[in-house]
Amino acid sequence: MKTVPGRTDRVVVVGAGLSGLAAALHLLGSGRQVTVVERSDQAGGRAGRARLGGYLLDTGPTVLTMPHLADEAFAAVGDSLADRVELIALHPAYRAQFADGSGLDVHTDGEAMAEEVRAFAGPAEAAGYLRLRHWLRSLYEAQMRRFIDTNFDSPFQLLHPDLARLAALRGFGRLDAQIGRYVKDPRLRRVFSFQSLYAGVPPARALAAYAVIAYMDTVAGVYFPKGGMHALPVAMADAARDAGAEFRYGTEVTKLEMSAGRVTSVRLGDGERLPCDAVVLTPELPVVYRLLGRTPRRPVRLTHSPSAVILHAGTRRGWPGLDHHTISFGHAWERTFDEITRTGRLMSDPSLLITRPTAHEPRLAPEGRHLHYVLAPCPNTTVGPSADEWRSLAPRYRDSIVSLLEKRGLDGFGDAIEEEQLITPADWTAQGHAAGTPFSAAHTFAQTGPFRPRNLVAGVENAVLAGCGTTPGVGVPTVLVSGKLAASRISGQ
Ligand SMILES: Cc1cc2nc3c(=O)[nH]c(=O)nc-3n(C[C@H](O)[C@H](O)[C@H](O)COP(=O)(O)OP(=O)(O)OC[C@H]3O[C@@H](n4cnc5c(N)ncnc54)[C@H](O)[C@@H]3O)c2cc1C
């Protein structure tokens, strides 16, 4: 593995999102002196916290998987996730609600899920589900250490027996088709393939290898931190501070000062200069390249993931049909993906993720109130409406989501709303996210593994990237890994 040469005693981490916090903890564990500089006034980055009247919102991720990856970061400083955060395992992980009126609870326990599938679609599908589960686990085992949790120095590193194993598992087939080898019911196929959207690619076009995401949520399990998702970055920041990290919140990094191909100091918005031996850069790639004063040599422009509209709604009542996470599928499927990834239209028959965090943490709302987080995937601003167009579209789109929820069983939803906030691609753009999407570069084949923007920077020997724009990619588990990989480029461990 290539590592940063020379002295690496003092490291500045730019950004206190999950990747920056993971990098900080791993670096502290290897004896580095760490300063974390964050432009906002809180830790978490996209996993942030906002206040809406008496409600406390998680602004980003809601589905927490693979918490042991966070625990690895705590363990690096002799701390532990369990000592800092109470994690609730969600049973079921999701409730799936289909347009034909049927529903299915997605259990992560194999027996319970086989029983659920048997009742839902018959014994042949239940047997298929158990084989699918075995395949998902095998895919995960073939990929995690070799292709996800690894620092790539060359695409030739792919040439390992695990690659043959992945090929034998048909990991290079198309996701949708491979899932279809195990379960035939189109509703079940959706439950195990919609996750490819997290990686920014439709199931019909995604590599089957991406079923690893379905392993993470439908087999390994979905968790919810007591206090809300934001409790995770807060705990990581507390552990890093207790292990000796210095945090500078409300402070923007505006420049990296260089000498002889090394970053020698980090310049802050107020003009202060932090001398350093190495930097970990976690902002979006365009910001990173601007700070480095260079654009990468890349033959084609990056393709970005679809975006999302989020309606945060604090309501006077709840609806018993909703679980902690409910996926409300429309009739349409291929058309929906086509709209959000290719034609750039808003979903004509939407599928939505509805999260009700107050199911397990009533303190996120005033007493007797409920919080709903409704996520509607939508095109990014490269293929779909521009940020400007979203400003005028937003109220109509909000109304259409509310009336759709009412049609799908949440009667009186609109009238029950006491506080609300709508986030659209215009807001993601205003926050500086390229292509109006907070989900970064899509995981197309050409933007995955050794082909994703690397975490080392040509010509700058002591700058390392972390976060969703670099390897391994988008999502809480992957950015936690990216922080660890960045730290090991510096520590050599
Ligand atoms: C709405 C939404 C829903 C999601 N849902 C899920 C989900 O359910 N499950 C899942 O696994 N993943 C989900 N994700 C993805 C996941 O949250 C992200 O991939 C991950 O949090 C990104 O972490 P990061 O460290 O790469 O970036 P960030 O969290 O963006 O951290 C980068 C930090 O750098 C700071 N920064 C930027 N520029 C500067 C500068 N010049 N100076 C100082 N600081 C700077 C920023 O303020 C930010 O805090 C979701 C994301 C969003 C937005």
pLDDT in tens, 66-99: 999 999 999 999 999 999 999 999 999 999 999 9
Cβ of residue 21 lying under 6 Å from some atom of ligand 1? no
Nearest-atom index, ligand 1, CA of 20 = 25
Beta strands 55-58; 49-52: pairing state = antiparallel
Task: State the distance from the centre of ligand 1 to the C-alpha of 431, rounded, in angstroms.
Answer: 11
Per residue in 436-482, pLDDT (tens digit) is 999 999 888 888 888 888 999 999 999 999 999 999 999 999 999 99
State how far the alpha carbon of 24 is from the alpha carbons of 38, 41, 193, 457, in Å. 12, 18, 34, 19
Residue 298 has pLDDT above 90, yes or no: no
Task: State the distance from the centre of ligand 1 to the C-alpha of 203, rounded, in angstroms.
Answer: 24
Residues making up the chain, counted from first to last: 493
Average confidence (pLDDT) over 27-40: 98
**Of the candidates 36, 122, 14, 26, the residue with the CA atom closest to the CA atom of residue 77:** 26
| pLDDT for the residue 297 | 64
| pLDDT for the residue 159 | 79
Find out whether 229 and 64 touch, Cβ atoms under 8 Å: yes
Q: How far apart are CA 493 and CA 484, in angstroms?
A: 10
**Of the candidates 400, 392, 344, the residue with the CA atom closest to the CA atom of residue 374:** 400
Least confident of 151-155, 214-218, 395-399, 470-474: 151-155
- Edge-to-edge strand ranges of the sheet holding 460-465: 246-248, 33-37, 10-14, 278-281, 460-465, 456-457
Nearest-atom index, ligand 1, CA of 291 = 41
Nearest-atom index, ligand 1, CA of 252 = 42
Residue 294 has pLDDT above 80, yes or no: no
Beta strands 94-97; 325-328: pairing state = parallel
Residue 390 has pLDDT above 70, yes or no: yes
Q: How far apart are CA 474 and CA 480, in angstroms?
A: 10
| pLDDT for the residue 300 | 56
Q: How far apart are CA 399 and CA 407, in angstroms?
A: 12
Cβ of residue 473 lying under 6 Å from some atom of ligand 1? no
